[in-house]
Amino acid sequence: MEELTLDFTGPSDIALAEPVEENPIRLSYSSISTYELCPLQYKFKYVEREPGIRTPALAFGESLHEALRLFHHQPVPVAPSLGQLLGYLDQAWDATPYSDEREERTYKDHARQVMSAYHRANAPRFVMPVTVEQRFEIPIGDVTVTGIIDRMDRHPDGSYEIIDYKTNRRLPPKKIVERDLQLSIYYLAAQEVWGITPRWVTMYYLLPGQRITVTRTEADGIATRERIADVAARIAAGEFRPTENRLCNWCDYKAKCPLFAHESRRVQQPDPVDISGAVEEWIKLQRKAKSDAVRLAQLSTVIHDYCAAEGLDRLFGEDAAVTRTASGDGLWSLSLKENRR
Ligand code: SF4
C-alpha cells in the first residue's frame, strides 16, 4: 500500500513500554531475530508469552530434527539402516497440527523422502558427531544467550564443524549464510562452552539435500556480541515498536497489533463513531496535497525561469503576487504576496 504521512510528530503510547526488568535478559537466536524483525512481535511472544500457532511446517521441521538426532546419537560409528532412520521419524512424528489425515500423509510422505535422501548421502560416510542437539547458555555482557546446536563433527585433521539443519524449500544465496546470526552465535558458543574454534559452520538444507559451508572469524564474533548487546539494550529500555514487514500476514499476533487490529475489528462490529468517514476524508486530502505539491514544484520552476530570463523578481496575478527571493548560494524561493499591486 502506498504510504501517506502527515507532518506531525508526537509521543506514541506504543513506542516506549515499561522497561523490561528481567535480569539477566535471556535471549536466543529466535528471540533476537524476532526482535530485529519486529520488536512488538517479540513483546507478544517472549515478554507477554502469548501462545503462537503450532503450524504443520513447524511440526514437520521438529520431527525431522528429532529423527536426525536419534540417527546420529549412536554408541558406535556405524550408520543405522534406512529402516531404522524411518523408524526414528515415526517415533518423532507429531501428528497434532495437521488439519486432516490427508494433509498429514502428504507431509509424512515428504518427510520420508527427505530422510531417504539424507540416508543415501550420509550413511556411507557416517561418523560419530562430537555432540548432537547440544543445549548451551553463554553470557554476553549482561545477557544470557541460549540455544541448541544440532550437530558438531570433528574431522580427521582435528578441525571442527558446526551443522545446523534447515527445512527451507529453497537454498538462500551463500552471502546470506555468511552473515547468518544463528551460525555466529553457535560459533561463539563453541568457543565459550568447549574452548573450540570451529573451522567450518554449515547450514544443511534438508529438502533440497544441499549444504552451504562458510567460516567465521574473531571479527564476526565481536560484531555478533555487539549486535546482541544492542538488542538487549533496546529490550531493557522497553522499545517495542511495531515494524511492518513482509511477514506480517503470517504473524500470529496480527489481530492484536495496533497496525492491523482495526482491520479485523471492523469486520466484526461497526465503529462507534464515524471513524471510517474521517479516515476516508484524510486519505483523500493527503492524496490531493501530494499531487498539489508536485504541481506547485513544476509551476515554481516555470516562474523562476521566467523571472531569471526577464530580470524580474515579482509577477502579478489577479489579486496577489509571487515574489522571488534569491539567497546568496544560488538558491531561490517564491512567496505569496496578498493584495499587493
Ligand atoms: S503484524 Fe507485523 S507489525 Fe504487527 S506485530 Fe506482527 S510482525 Fe509486528
pLDDT (tens digit per residue) in 2-50: 433 333 333 333 344 454 555 579 999 999 999 999 999 999 999 999 9
Cell for 113? 523422502
pLDDT at 270 over 80: no
Provide the percentage of residues in the chain whose pLDDT is more than 90: 80
At residue 305, the pLDDT reads: 92
Q: How far is the CA of 101 from the centre of ligand 1 (A)?
A: 32
- Provide the pLDDT for residue 12: 35
Q: Is 174 helix (H, G, I), strand (E, B) or coil?
A: helix
Residue of 33, 35, 37, 38 best suited for mutating to test ligand 1, as the one with most atoms within 8 Å of CB: 38
The whole-angstrom separation of Cα 91 and Cα 71 is: 12
Which one is predicted more confidently, 218 or 6? 218
- Per the prediction, the chain carries an average pLDDT of 90
CA dihedral (223, 229, 233, 239) positive or negative: positive
Which atom of ligand 1 is the closest one to the Cα of 248?
Answer: 2
Residue 170 has pLDDT above 50, yes or no: yes
Q: According to the model, what pLDDT value does residue 16 have?
A: 45
Give the pLDDT confidence score for residue 327 in this predicted structure.
77
pLDDT of residue 251: 96
**pTM to 2 decimals?**
0.80
**Nearest alpha carbon, ligand 1 atom 5:** 41
CA of 263 to the centre of ligand 1 (A): 13
For residue 77, the CA-to-ligand 1 centroid distance in Å is 47
Model pLDDT, residue 20? 53
Distance 2 CA to ligand 1 centre (A): 18
Query: Tens digit of pLDDT for each residue in 107-164?
Result: 999 999 999 999 999 999 998 999 999 999 999 988 999 999 999 999 999 999 999 9
Phi, psi of 324 (to 5 degrees): -100, 130
Q: Which residues line ligand 1 (CB under 6 A)?
A: 38, 40-41, 242-245, 248, 251, 253-254, 257, 259-260
Asked whether residue 88 carries a pLDDT value surpassing 90, the answer given is yes
Q: How far apart are the first and last CA of the chain?
A: 46
Q: Stretch 327-336: mean pLDDT, rounded?
A: 84
Which one of 35, 253, 262, 264 would you pick to mutate in the ligand 1 pocket, going by the greatest count of ligand atoms within 8 A of its CB?
Answer: 253
Give Cβ neighbours of residue 58 (< 8 Å, ≥ 6 apart): 97
Segment 253-257 shows an average pLDDT of 94
Backbone angles phi, psi at 325, to 5 degrees: -120, 125
pLDDT at residue 274, as a whole number: 80
Give me the pLDDT at residue 9, please: 31
Cell digits of residue 169? 524449500
Identify the bridge partners of residue 303 per DSSP, sorted by sequence position: none
Contact in structure between 55 and 165 (CB atoms under 8 Å): no
Domain segments of the chain as ranges: 282-338
Round to whole Å and give the CA distance between 30 and 230.
16
Residue 175 reports pLDDT greater than 70: yes
Residue 276 pLDDT level (bands cut at 50, 70, 90)? confident
Which residues make beta-bridge pairs with 148? 135
Peptide bond into 24 cis (omega under 30): yes
Which residue owns the Cα nearest ligand 1 atom 2? 248
